[in-house]
């Protein structure tokens, strides 16, 4: 009986030791950085401006000369079930394939483990209608946001893809998809703002910590092929010039599905 009691006590001690919750390696109030990369691809290929030749579901070959889009209203999903909302004034980004703006660096993020994120493709109605003086940096139509704004009624161009396709029946064979519309007063009142919610693979997490040598990195794929192929397969021959028209809703519904998390890494 004595030996049984000792064995039971030892087992209880071992179980208690194994059951202890590991203390987090950060303290309340700690903050750190987080990077989000928007890696533009076309199916399984890396997007190459001007030189890459791709094929849509209609069998039409096309190239891409310009790919720009706005990302805003970012929320980070913590593994504990909470969300961190990036402050609104720090949450507007213009992604351009033509330069080095494909990586977003977020500052002052509460330390924690983040397993996914959500964001908007486009610019919300409140910011679209603010006085011009309040729209700075990438939202300045006369500055960094040049070429991505129509007017106060139609607002910003959320997604711009332009290039060439042999199927376009013009001398230049040029196409342009300039998609926007925030639900403003113009009739019909288009609203092509799209909310995206993404999760990483099971167990993957971005570990935001104070004074970390390298910021954790969420690597997204933005698949251009899904912009032209999807619920509506876009034909360049039939729709070479999609601007502020009702048909633009079909392109917006497609690009709502063009984003995915490829991987998350911490060093």
12 domain-assigned: no
Q: What is the mean pLDDT of residues 213-231?
A: 97
* Residue range 246-256, pLDDT digits in tens: 999 999 999 99
Give this prediction's pTM.
Answer: 0.89
Token pair 């009739």 in the structure block, residue? 187
DSSP for the chain, written as a single string: -HHHHHHHHHHHHHHHHHHSPPPPSS-TT-EEEEEEEEEEEETTEE--TTT--EE-TTS-EEEEEEEEEEEEEEEEEETTS-EEEPPGGG-EEEEETTTTTTEEEEEEEESEEEEEEEEEES--HHHHTS-GGG--GGG-TTTTTTTSB--TTT-BEEEEEEEEETTS-SSS-EEEEEEE-BS-SSSS--B--EEEEEE-STT--EEE-TT-SS--EEEEEEETHHHHSSSSPPPTTT-SEESSSTTHHHHHHHHTTSEEEEEEE--
pLDDT for 225 beyond 70: yes
Number of domains in the chain: 1
pLDDT for 21 beyond 80: no
Instruction: Tell me the C-alpha distance between 68 and 38, whole Å.
Output: 11
Check residue 25 and give its pLDDT.
80
16 domain-assigned: no
Cβ neighbours, 10 Å, residue 232: 15
180 domain-assigned: yes
pLDDT for 201 beyond 90: yes
pLDDT for 9 beyond 60: no
pLDDT for 195 beyond 60: yes
Which of the pair, 173 or 101, is modelled with greater confidence?
173
Supply the mean pLDDT for the chain: 90
**What are the structure tokens assigned to 180, written together?**
């926007």
15 domain-assigned: no
Range of the domain at 44: 29-265
Check residue 129 and give its pLDDT.
85
* Residue range 84-106, pLDDT digits in tens: 999 988 899 999 999 978 999 99
* Residue range 137-146, pLDDT digits in tens: 999 999 999 9
82 domain-assigned: yes
């Amino acid at each position: 009986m004595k030996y049984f009691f000792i064995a039971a006590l030892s087992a209880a001690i071992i179980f208690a030791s194994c059951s202890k919750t590991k203390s987090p390696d950060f303290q309340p109030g700690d903050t750190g950085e987080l990077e989000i990369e928007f890696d533009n691809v076309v199916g399984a290929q890396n997007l190459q401006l001007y030189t890459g030749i791709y094929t849509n579901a209609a069998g039409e070959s096309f190239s891409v000369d310009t790919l720009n889009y706005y990302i805003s209203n970012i929320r980070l999903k913590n593994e504990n079930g909470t969300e961190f909302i990036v402050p609104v004034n720090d949450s507007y980004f213009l992604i351009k394939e033509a330069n080095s703006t494909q990586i977003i660096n977020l500052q002052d993020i509460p330390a924690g483990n983040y397993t996914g994120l959500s964001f908007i493709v486009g610019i919300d109605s409140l910011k679209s209608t603010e006085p011009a003086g309040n729209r700075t940096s990438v939202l300045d139509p006369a500055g960094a946001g040049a070429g991505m704004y129509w007017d106060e009624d139609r607002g910003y161009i959320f997604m711009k893809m332009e290039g060439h396709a042999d199927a376009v029946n013009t001398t230049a064979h040029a196409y342009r998809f300039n998609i926007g519309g925030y639900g403003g007063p113009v009739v019909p009142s288009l609203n092509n703002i799209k909310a995206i919610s993404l999760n990483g693979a099971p167990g993957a997490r971005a570990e935001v910590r104070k004074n970390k040598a390298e910021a954790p990195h969420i690597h997204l794929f933005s698949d251009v092929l899904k912009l032209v192929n999807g619920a509506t397969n876009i034909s360049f021959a039939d729709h070479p010039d999609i601007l502020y028209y009702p048909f633009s809703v079909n392109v917006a519904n497609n690009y709502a599905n063009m984003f995915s998390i490829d991987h998350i890494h911490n060093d």
